[in-house]
Structure 1
Amino acid sequence: MLAIASLPLSVLYGVAYGFYLLLAYVVRYRHRVVVQNLRKSFPEKSETEIARLAQQFYLHFSQVIVETLKLATLSGEELRRRVIFRNPEVLERHFAKGRTVLGLSSHAGNWEWVLTSGAVWLSAHVDGVYKPLSNVFFENYMYRLRTRTGAGLIPMRDTLRDMIKRKGETRVISLLSDQAAGPEDRPYWTTFMHQEAGFYTSAERLATRFNCPVVYVSIHRVRRGHYEVVLSDLYDGSTPIPPDSYPITESFVQHLEQTIRENPVAYLWTHRRWKHKRPVAPIAN
């Protein structure tokens, strides 16, 4: 893989076009899921428009694959040039107060480049919460890619333990908060892209327990191989949150919808985001 990663990005994008043809037209990778997700998320669009979005998504997805492989050889300087943090001061003012900040991001743009570029852009340490892969080879490979610029990784199951152990440390903890939470996760249910969806509520639990500010991390693709990150405050880390209330998560959902609508092609439509259904309450006799 290192030999592939050593190729110039201009060459790798040619490889990505081959991936695109394979995924979109030969293998038709999760094609039904992609089209169904797009149809339900954009009911106002025609079938022709949905088909065009699906094709454009597969091309973007293929380019993200080779961009992720390229992380093995990208220097911190080049990564900083390709991923621009437009307003890092949103995080830096929290760091100046010695705060731990929760950064809520999503599978939009190139989420792998955002974590690694954050490590070269920001003055404080950057940790990403992630779900380890079951395949040992790919787990070790992705771990090296994600940490080579100085970012750290926290297995999802160890998040609370890590925050207790490192309480008060100045850093940002990045969470990909758009993943599907099942009924067993006690999710917050809301409308997301015209559909009911369950979201993890770890943002509220961790922010209130550790008095952490929360920031939304929006990833925009500017052009091929170039992205910008825009940060927005969601929670100041001190305002009381009433029990059974999820203002942070709801604000995250609203911000994420805006990000997706600005560039639908750049979201991860292969993910079965709406596979879980809200439990139906039993009818009282």
Structure 2
Amino acid sequence: MHWLLMGLAYLPYSVLYLLADFFYVLLVYVVPYRKKVVVENLRNSFPEKSAAEIERIAKGFYRHFADVIVEILKLAAMSDAELKRRVIFRNPEVLERFFAEGRMAIGLASHAGNWEWVLTSGAIWLSAEVDGVYKPLSNPFFESFMCELRTRTGAGVIPMRDTLRDMVERRGQPRVVSLLSDQAAGPEDRPYWTSFMNQEAGFYTSADRLAAKFQAPVVYVSIRRLRRGYYEIVLTELYDGIAPLPVKDCPITEQFVRLLEQDIRNAPEQYLWTHRRWKHKRNNG
């Protein structure tokens, strides 16, 4: 399986995108992949849109999703120079200022654009180390393969359960720790509840708690597809790591949600709608 995937990765983009076109037809027309979840998420998120508009966005999403699948695979064969050409950091100075001061920063990203290219390209564009927090996969082969892809440009990976220990042990090292902060937090996680795309959603409070504990600046990572196979990343400072932070109100997470909403509304087809993001409900009892 490893050599098969590596062989596919070395195919030219023209062939890989033909494969993506095939995946698109398969996912939409042959074996619809989570179509009910996608349409329900879109309807609830965009109640003002017609059924035809929802269908158009859904098809645009599946086309983008098929592209992301082959682009993630292509990471195995991409040179650093090619990846840097295809993913442009518009304002890396937002993070470089903190690195120059010897500080650790937290980056808040989401499942928008090509989220797997964020970590790997960040390791090329930025002068300090880039580490991504992730949830290990249950399949040993794909766990190993994905870790190999994510670290091939020099980025590091941190299993979610080890995040706090890693940050304590490496406190004071200039680097950025990246979190995919749009994942669904259940009632047992004591989430921060807020409105997200016209629906109440629970968010993990890790960003606010870690920023307060380590006095770490926080940036929002926006990734947008410019055209097929090309993306841009724009960084927005959410917290400077100095001002007092009212953790219980989760101001950092609230800012993250509002910026993510803006990105989703600007390019709805580029968000990961197959995820049951709103499956948890607040327990008011």
Which residue number corresponds to residue 54 of structure 2? Answer: 50
Superposed, which structure 2 residues align to 1:121-270 within 5 Å?
121-270=125-274
- What letter corresponds to residue 43 of structure 2 in structure 1? R
Counterpart CA distance in 1 for 2:72 and 2:181 is 20
**Aligned match of 1:74:** 78
Deviation at 1:182, TM superposition (A): 0.2
Instruction: Output the CA distance in 2 between the equivalents of 1:200 and 1:160.
Output: 14
Picking from 88, 98, 103, the partner of 1:99 is: 103
**Residues 200-241 of structure 1: per-residue CA shift (max 9 Å, x gap):** 000011001001000000001000000000000000101112
Q: Deviations over 1:80-103 (max 9, x none)?
A: 000000000000011110110000
- Aligned mate of 1:90, from 91, 94, 97: 94
1:23 counterpart = 2:27: yes
| 2:9 matched residue in structure 1 | 5
Q: Which moved more, 1:238-247 or 1:142-151?
A: 238-247
Q: Which amino acid in structure 2 is aligned with residue 55 of structure 1?
A: K
Identity %: 70
1:275 to 271, 274, 279: 279
Query: What stretches of structure 1 move > 6 A for 4+ residues in a row?
Result: none
Match of 2:265, SS state, is helix
Question: Deviation at 1:26?
Answer: 1.1
Taking the aligned partners of 1:87 and 1:279, their CA distance within structure 2 comes to: 41
Amino acid corresponding to residue 222 of structure 1 in structure 2: L
What secondary structure sits across from 2:132 in the alignment?
strand
Q: Quick one: which amino acid aligns to residue 63 of structure 2?
A: L
* Residues 208 and 238 in structure 1, CA contact (< 8 A), matched pair in contact too: no
After TM superposition, the score normalised by the length of structure 2 is 0.98
Report the TM-score when normalising by structure 1.
0.98
Contact in 1 for aligned 2:123/2:129 (Cα 8 Å): yes
Q: Could you tell me which runs of 5 or more consecutive residues in structure 2 were left unpaired when the two chains were aligned.
A: none
What is the Cα deviation at residue 280 of structure 1? Answer: 1.7
- Look up the SS of the partner of 1:241 in the other structure: coil
Encode CA deviations 1:25-67: one digit per residue, 9 max, x unaligned: 1110000000000000011100000011101100100000000
In 2, the alpha carbon distance for the partners of 1:115 and 1:167 equals 20
SS of aligned partner of 1:244? helix
CA displacement at 1:242 relative to structure 2: 2.4
Alpha-carbon separation, structure 1, partners of 2:15 and 2:92: 32
* Alignment check: 8 A CA contact 2:106 2:207 kept: yes
Confirm or deny: 8 A CA contact 1:188 1:200 kept in the other structure: yes
State the Cα distance separating 1:267 from its structure 2 match: 0.2
